[in-house]
Amino acid sequence: MDSSTSPKSPQTPKTTGGYSFDVEAQESSDAGDGSPSVSSGAVCQRCGTARQTVVFRQITYEVRQGRRRAARWQPLLRDVSGYVAPQELTALMGPSGSGKSTLLDLLAGRKTAGRLAEGSSIRFNGRRPTSAMLRRNVGYVEQTDTLLPLLTPSEMLLYTSELKHPHTMPRKDKQQLVDALIEKLRLQDCANTTIGSSLARGISGGEAKRVSVGLTMITCPAVLLCDEPTSGLDSWNQHAVVEALRDLARGGIAVASSIHAPSPDTFALFDRVLILQRGRAVYFGETGEACSRYFAEQFPALRPMRPWEGVADYIIDVTSSKHLGERAASEFADAYAASELCRSNEAEMEALLAAAPHQDGNSHKHSRARSLLQLGGPQGTITPWWWGLWVLFRFRTVRGYSRPVWVLPRALSPLIPVFLLATVYWGLGNNIDVLHVTSIAGVLFMWTTSAAYGSMGLMPTIIEERAVFLRERADGLYTPATYLLYKLSEEFSVSLTVTVPYAIAVFYIVRLQGSLALFWLVDVVTTAVATVLALLVGALAPNQAVAGMALPMYTTSLLYFSGFLITWGNIPPYWIWYSVIAYLRYAWGALMVNQFEGDRNIPAYGGVPVLQYYDLENVNKWAWLGWEALFFAAFTAAAWAALSLVRHQRR
Ligand SMILES: Nc1ncnc2c1ncn2[C@@H]1O[C@H](COP(=O)(O)OP(=O)(O)OP(=O)(O)O)[C@@H](O)[C@H]1O
């Protein structure tokens, strides 16, 4: 395993796959926020992204804890300083809960709660970050992978590339970039293997993690932040992932990654390490010998390193408060704050800021900039909506259609209700005695009910896909409206087709009356409403369990008020409002009028004409179909709002 290349040694990085920064300083016209700038270092040969040095000083980050009046600001990070430099791979280490993810989130502008205290400052090339600038310059690899299990790494990267580069860029150029990334991340062996999931085995965890890194590298960010990219991996895969990060760093990117217990070989791949403990820095400096020497000199009473221990394990173990108690633990942070190393780091940061092309100063008034804490807001996409829809269709829908487990449940699930309706009510539709009138009303009721329940099976998939949606949306791959359109058209294209033969079969076998077109359209619109409801509940519900309960309960409640089980006149006055907004009432009402308007005098119970008995005598069936379609429009708007506004991710 190669762990040799030092960032200190001057070198001309290879331009492997175009992910490399030119060593000559060049003028860049894109600082990511639209303003021209001159980088302190170089620009990427491929995309012109300027190198970025991230300097963070005296970061104190607090969240509000406790209830209402008793709530107080609790610091999660205190006076943490350091930097992430181009061409360097920086490790963030520390016991669980020490604040590594919090710091990475802050640097990436992904915090949605809490505040940065007075005096905290984060600078990218000397400049206060804005949302647009962070989005352009920072790649963030989350702890959990959010990949599409049906695609291969090569397809996953191409799919992301299609959505992250202008649609006018030729496909072969995008493919070349993908091929270069595959080579850079050493994914050649699994490039065409299906990614898979926990249920269907695919590529390994380490390969999946490198694909996740690749997704953020598609647009060639200048800074790459990774939150525990090696968690859950064996030491071989850990090493492979960190090696890939090290290669990216050597190409000119500033890379920081949190990591737990790296093996000595893997730890040696890092250039620098920031060790946190209880939200405070206990060491920031070079890895390896320098790190162990610092602890040996500062704390001579510490136990010596055991022969089988790596430096990383040793430092984390000796500084871990589980052995020391809180007071002794803070002594490490106090000692570091008073150390020569800390002073020299401060001087280095001053020098980096002084050499930076922008001089926003350390004015603390703006260091709490909302943009820094709230990157997750509305954002644009690089490609137009129709391109997003086309790419989603090309990579996701087509792949779904090719799988029997996707198509068969959708195509065959209406078969059982259709079979039951056709065999139980065979030829009943033109029979006109009182009992049969009620049975026919029941057939129509069951027809709408089956359509309403049929789409509920979608919800688990929608919730499973939610993490992918949230990540891709945050990455600006598409808007919630495009995603909604994609999901609806994916489902409609199947349901429009399969409902035709089923509607014809039931209509003729049961010998129903009226318009076959309306009978089919009611089924289509009811399925559409149920589909968008599944998307709405999937977007709103915090988890599978809540979603799995909410939609069936809501749909069942509609059955009471659709006009069949209790006629309109018998609904208690305080429930009438619910009947008015029960979309199934309009579906069933339209079907009833369709069935009985040819002969309005057919009697129901008590000899009352059937449409009068069910309070439908003044109903226009097409108008009621239109009302149901309006419910579809309203639920679609609600689903769009939920997808846009509900985050499910508080950081
Ligand atoms: N929004 C928040 N509100 C309250 N506490 C929070 C919030 N975010 C993080 N914390 C707390 O801050 C501490 C640091 O969390 P963080 O996730 O940064 O730790 P970490 O070092 O990354 O841990 P691990 O290695 O286990 O991922 C934890 O005790 C966590 O519970």
Task: Output the six-digit token pair for 338.
Answer: 């008073």
Q: Residue 98: which of 315, 362, 374, 245 has the closest Cα?
A: 315
Cα of 574 vs its chain's centroid, Å:
42
Is the residue at 31 inside a domain? no
Mutate to test the pocket of ligand 1, among 61, 64, 65, 98 (most ligand atoms within 8 A of CB): 98
Q: Does 491 lie in the same domain as 348?
A: no
The percentage of residues in the chain with a pLDDT greater than 90, rounded to a whole number, is 43
The complex scores an ipTM of 0.95
pLDDT of res. 1: 37
Q: How confident is the model at residue 48 (pLDDT cuts 50, 70, 90)?
A: low
Q: Decide: 421 and 519 in contact? Cβ < 8 Å.
A: no
Name every protein residue with a CB atom under 6 angstroms from any ligand 1 atom: 63, 76, 94, 96-102, 113-114, 651
**At 529, is the pLDDT very low, low, confident or very high (cuts 50, 70, 90)?**
very high
- If phi over 0 gives left and psi between -120 and 50 gives alpha, with beta otherwise, what is residue 5? beta
Question: Looking at the structure, do residues 504 and 623 belong to the same domain, yes or no?
Answer: yes
Structure tokens at 465: 């896909």
Q: What pLDDT shows up at residue 326?
A: 56
How far is it, in rounded angstroms, from Cα 72 to Cα 27? 47
Residue nearest to atom 8 of ligand 1 (CA): 651
Same domain, 345 and 409: no
**What is the SS3 assignment for 74?**
strand
Provide the pLDDT for residue 329.
Answer: 62
The helix (H) or strand (E) run that includes residue 58 is strand 54-65
Give me the sign of the Cα torsion angle 563, 564, 570, 574. negative
In a domain, 366, yes or no: no
Residues 477 and 624 in one domain: yes
pLDDT computed for residue 427 by the predictor: 76
pLDDT value at position 295? 86
Question: If you measure from the C-alpha of residue 325 to the centroid of ligand 1, how many angstroms do you get, rounded to a whole number?
Answer: 19
Question: Strand 89-93 to strand 254-258: parallel, antiparallel, or no bridges (unpaired)?
Answer: parallel
Least confident of 196-210, 287-301, 365-379, 555-569: 365-379
Which structural domain range is residue 217 located in? Answer: 48-353
349 shares its domain with 407: no
Number of domains in the chain: 2
* CA gyration radius, the chain: 31
Contact at 8 Å (CB) between 524 and 496?
Answer: yes
For 230-256, write each residue's pLDDT tens digit: 888 888 888 988 998 999 899 889 999
Q: 448-457: buried (b, 16+ CB within 10 Å) or exposed (e) per residue?
A: bbbbbbbbbe
* pLDDT tens column, 148-200: 998 999 999 999 999 988 899 999 999 999 999 999 888 999 999 999 877 77
The 8-class DSSP code of residue 396 comes to I
pLDDT digits (tens, 9 = 90+) for 18-43: 444 433 333 333 334 433 333 344 55
Separation of alpha carbons 221 and 139, rounded Å: 6
Phi, psi of 75 (to 5 degrees): -75, 130
Q: How far is CA 244 from CA 2, 185, 186, 361, 578, in A?
A: 11, 5, 8, 35, 58
Residue 632 dihedral angles phi and psi, to the nearest 5°: -60, -45
**Which of 353, 386, 411 is a domain's end point?**
353
Amino acid in position 293 = R
User: 């309306």: which residue's tokens?
Assistant: 518
Whole-number Cα distances in Å, 58 to 123, 272, 342, 518, 538: 12, 18, 12, 68, 41
Mean pLDDT to the nearest integer, 425-442: 77
Query: How would you label 554-580 residue by residue, b for 16+ Cβ within 10 Å and e otherwise?
Result: ebeebbbbbbbeeeeeebeeeeeeebe
Q: Could you identify the atom of ligand 1 that is nearest to the CA of residue 98? A: 21
Question: Do 348 and 433 fall within a single domain?
Answer: no
User: Are the CB atoms for 223 and 253 separated by under 8 Å?
Assistant: yes
The whole-number pLDDT of residue 266 equals 92
Burial class (CB in 10 A: 0-12, 13-18, 19+), 363: exposed
Alpha helices, H only, 356-433: 370-373, 385-392, 398-401, 404-412, 415-424
Using the atom order of ligand 1, give the atom closest to the CA of residue 94. 21
* Same domain, yes or no: 342 and 488: no
CB neighbour class for 622 (10 Å; exposed up to 12, middle 13-18, buried from 19): middle
Of 320, 353, 386, the residue at which a domain comes to its end is 353
For residues 133 and 124, the answer to whether their CB atoms sit within 8 Å is yes
Q: How far is the CA of 101 from the centre of ligand 1 (A)?
A: 7
| Cβ contact 193:227 at 8 Å | no
Atom of ligand 1 nearest to the CA of 651: 1
Confirm whether 634 is domain-assigned: yes
Which residue has the least CA distance to atom 17 on ligand 1? 101
Residue nearest to atom 24 of ligand 1 (CA): 96
Ligand 1 pocket test, pick from 73, 101, 321 with the greatest ligand atom count within 8 Å of Cβ, gives 101
* Closest ligand 1 atom number to CA of residue 76: 12
Residue 578 belongs to a domain: yes
- For residue 2, being part of any structural domain is answered with no
The pTM of this model reads 0.79
What is the DSSP track for 552-602?
Answer: HHHHHHHHHTSSSSS-GGGS-GGGHHHHHT-HHHHHHHHHHHHHHGGGTT-
Ligand 1, atom 27: closest residue by C-alpha: 96
- Do residues 337 and 471 share a domain? no
Is the per-residue pLDDT at 294 higher than 80? yes
Domain end call among 317, 333, 353: 353
348 domain-assigned: yes
Q: Is the pLDDT of residue 365 over 80?
A: no
Neighbours of 623 (CB within 10 A): 12
Q: Name the pairing type of β-strands 121-124 and 54-65.
A: antiparallel
Shared domain for 618 and 529, answered yes or no, is yes
Ligand 1 centre to CA of 17 (Å) is: 37
**Mutation test of ligand 1: which of 60, 74, 76 has the most ligand atoms closer than 8 Å to its C-beta?**
76
Residue pair 210/239 in contact by the 8 Å Cβ criterion: no
Of 581 and 603, the one with more pLDDT: 581
Instruction: Average the pLDDT over 95-106 and give the result.
Output: 91
pLDDT confidence of 99, banded at 50, 70, 90?
Answer: very high
- Ligand 1 centroid to Cα of residue 103, in Å, is 10
On the question of pLDDT at 290 being above 70, the answer is yes
In a shared domain, residues 412 and 348:
no
Q: How far apart are CA 198 and CA 391, in angstroms?
A: 26
User: CA-CA-CA-CA torsion for 49, 55, 60, 61, nearest 10 degrees?
Assistant: 10
Q: 327: pLDDT confidence band, cut at 50, 70 and 90?
A: low
Checking if the pLDDT of 375 tops 50, the result is no
CA distance 302 to 321: 13
Instruction: Report the distance separating Cα 211 and Cα 388, nearest Å.
Output: 21
First to last CA, the chain: 36
Least confident segment among 152-156, 318-322, 420-424, 592-596: 318-322
The residue nearest atom 31 of ligand 1, judged by CA position, is: 97
pLDDT, average across residues 361-385: 52
**In this structure, is residue 358 part of a structural domain?**
no
Look at 582 and 379; give whichever has higher pLDDT: 582
Domain CATH code at residue 85: 3.40.50.300
What pLDDT was estimated at residue 157?
96
Looking at the structure, do residues 407 and 349 belong to the same domain, yes or no? no
Q: Specify the long-range contacts of residues 322-331, CB closer than 8 Å, at least 24 apart.
A: 322/95, 326/278, 329/277, 329/278, 330/278, 330/280
- Nearest C-alpha to atom 12 of ligand 1 is from which residue? 76
Residues 6+ apart with CB under 8 A from 387: 162, 163, 167
Query: Are 427 and 325 in a shared domain?
Result: no
Supply 579's token pair: 């009947």
In 3-state terms, what secondary structure has residue 22?
coil
264 CA distance to ligand 1 middle (Å): 26
197 or 515, which is more confident:
515
Instruction: Measure the CA–CA gap between 639 and 305, rounded to whole angstroms.
Output: 58
Whose CA is closest to 106, among 73, 134, 72? Answer: 134
Position 84 pLDDT exceeds 80: yes
Least confident of 91-105, 205-219, 293-307, 572-586: 293-307
What atom of ligand 1 comes closest to residue 92's alpha carbon?
21
Ligand 1 centre and the CA of 121: distance in Å? 20
Please tell me the predicted confidence (pLDDT) of residue 206. Answer: 86
- Closest ligand 1 atom, CA of 276? 21
Read off the amino acid at residue 1.
M
Please state, in angstroms and as integers, the Cα–Cα distance from residue 378 to each residue in 107, 238, 371, 474, 647, following that order.
Answer: 19, 35, 12, 9, 12
- Percent of the chain exceeding pLDDT 70 equals 86
DSSP 8-state assignment for residue 127: B
Residue 7 lies in a domain: no
